[in-house]
Amino acid sequence: MHYIREQVGLTGTHWGCDTSNCGACVVLMDGEPVKSCTVLAAMADGHDVRTVESLEVDGQLDPIQQGFHERHALQCGFCTPGMLMTTRALLDANPDPTDLEIRTAISGAICRCTGYQNIVGAVRWAAEHEAAARREA
Amino acid sequence: MQTPAPFGYERATSVDGAIASLQRLGPEARIIAGGHSLLPMMKLRLANPEHLIDINDLVELSYIREQDGEIRIGALTRHVALLKSELLARHFPVFADAETVIADPVVRNRGTIGGSLCQADAAEDLSAVCTAVKAKVVIRGAAGERVVGMEDFHVGPYQTAVGAGDVLTEVRLPLRPGSGSAHEKVERRAGDWAIAAASAAVWIAAGRITDVGIGLSAVGLTTIHLTRAEDLLRGQAPSEDLFAEAGAIAAADCSPGADGRGPIDYKRHLVGVLTHRALRRAAARAASQEA
């Protein structure tokens, strides 16, 4: 996480508890969400690491980002990068999660504004819009 | 910023290579697998290894398979794989019980069974699970391989039979008919360490408990193996009264400390209730398997 922020200069990945509790620093390593504070940069060498900066492509928000926007799923925004990456991975593995599955997926991510209700709503929004997009395609 | 003390790092390319590195670098070298216990402890300066030997490339240590009347689990098997394993769910559902309440899904993508057992935190769940199912672990060192039962595995707080130059490579679960197992845990909030947890496994034949294993988490300096309660249960017919009596022994035989998670009398009471519930559920599962 410090390598991502300070050497690579991608400060979207947030630095929270630094001891794998809060989930603000979640990135995808080979497609799996991991807490980057607890993976040494040397351990990630040779692996594919995706940070929150990868979600938006050519000015187009990822559906999960759009969902957070539509459902007002961020207040202070500190937990948001980790929440986005954690729930992006959830939808990649399970495109139609139940509310309980969403809550379980983010159980290792802490929102100190306690805005969980809207985060669950945002993930549902993204799931439904991705399903609609697939039907149109 | 939480920064660990300076340390060296290398990646192992084989188990023997990791053992050779441990021998060469001496007792201040540590194996790192998932790192989700060790790295936070290093940042908090509770652990200060001088060298880390990363075994995450040793994919040959990641498997769950049935072989020679045992289920064999490679040391690098991640929590998420234990949670999703159909083989384990069929023979030892206690693993899925525990894995749904160990940390959180993101941590479970990294943490490993070998790391959990070697860390040997008294509050860690898998040590109690492995104690209950009477697991054996394979430890490899410069002098070769040895197999150690869980009853001889914990030698002190955070100390195990895995020596300075050793690597734990495999966990073996002997398969015997008529088994049932369950894990019961109470935590303050999702993903927290246990206030207390109880793991139980029973083997039932012809209406009698032929063997039983019970392990407790978070209520002593090490994982607690409840031998006195096991002696009570062995040979008996399963019943609510019997399990309540075993729970009372569990409450007496644990040694919890008072902390932010609760006072001693509360934890003893909780251990009694959780042991009773784990035995009840394990016996019900054994019965449904028998039928």
Q: What is the least distance, in Å, from the CA of A108 to any CA of chain B? A: 5
ipTM > 0.90 for the complex:
yes
pLDDT value, residue B61: 97
| Cβ <8 Å between B106 and A35 | yes
CA proximity to B48, closest of B95, B96, B108, B3: B3
- Phi and psi based region of residue A39 (left: phi greater than 0; alpha: psi -120 to 50; beta: remaining): beta
| Cβ <8 Å between B105 and A108 | yes
The whole-angstrom separation of Cα A18 and Cα B4 is 11
B201 alpha-carbon distance from chain centroid: 13
What is the mean predicted confidence (pLDDT) over B113-132?
A: 96
| Cβ <8 Å between A19 and B54 | no
Average pLDDT, chain B: 95
Which phi and psi (to 5°) does residue B245 adopt?
-65, -40
Go through the domains of chain A in sequence order and give each one's CATH number.
2-136 (1.10.150.120)
The pairs formed by A87-92 with CB atoms below 8 angstroms and a separation of 24 or more are: A87/A119, A87/A122, A87/A123, A87/A126, A88/A28, A88/A55, A88/A62, A88/A64, A89/A28, A89/A31, A89/A32, A89/A33, A90/A123, A91/A63, A91/A64, A91/A123, A91/A126, A91/A127, A91/A130, A92/A31
**For every one of its 137 residues, what pLDDT tens digit does chain A have, with 9 covering 90 and above?**
899 999 999 999 999 999 999 999 999 999 999 999 999 999 999 999 999 999 999 999 999 999 999 999 999 999 999 999 999 999 999 999 999 999 999 999 999 998 899 999 999 999 999 999 999 88
pLDDT value, residue B189: 85
**Residues in Cβ contact with A134 at an 8 Å cutoff, skipping those fewer than 6 apart:** none
CB burial class (10 A; 0-12, 13-18, 19+) of residue B76?
A: buried
**Residues in Cβ contact with B203 at an 8 Å cutoff, skipping those fewer than 6 apart:** B176, B177, B178, B179, B209, B210, B211, B212, B286
pLDDT value, residue B290: 58
Residues 45-104 of A with CB under 8 A from B: 86, 104
All residues of chain B having their beta carbon less than 8 Å from the beta carbon of residue A21 are 191
| Cβ <8 Å between B107 and A35 | yes
Examine the pLDDT at B291 and tell me if it is beyond 70: no
Identify the closest residue of chain B to A87 by CA–CA distance: B106
Q: What is the pLDDT of residues B21-60, one digit of tens each?
A: 999 999 999 999 999 999 999 999 999 999 999 999 999 9
Q: What is the least distance, in Å, from the CA of A18 to any CA of chain B? A: 7
All residues of chain B having their beta carbon less than 8 Å from the beta carbon of residue A109 are 104, 106
Query: Does the CB of B51 have a partner CB in chain A at under 8 Å?
Result: no
| Cβ <8 Å between B104 and A107 | yes
Go through the domains of chain B in sequence order and give each one's CATH number.
8-50 (3.30.43.10), 62-174 (3.30.465.10), 179-290 (3.30.390.50)
Query: Does the CB of B54 have a partner CB in chain A at under 8 Å?
Result: yes
Higher pLDDT, B94 or B291: B94
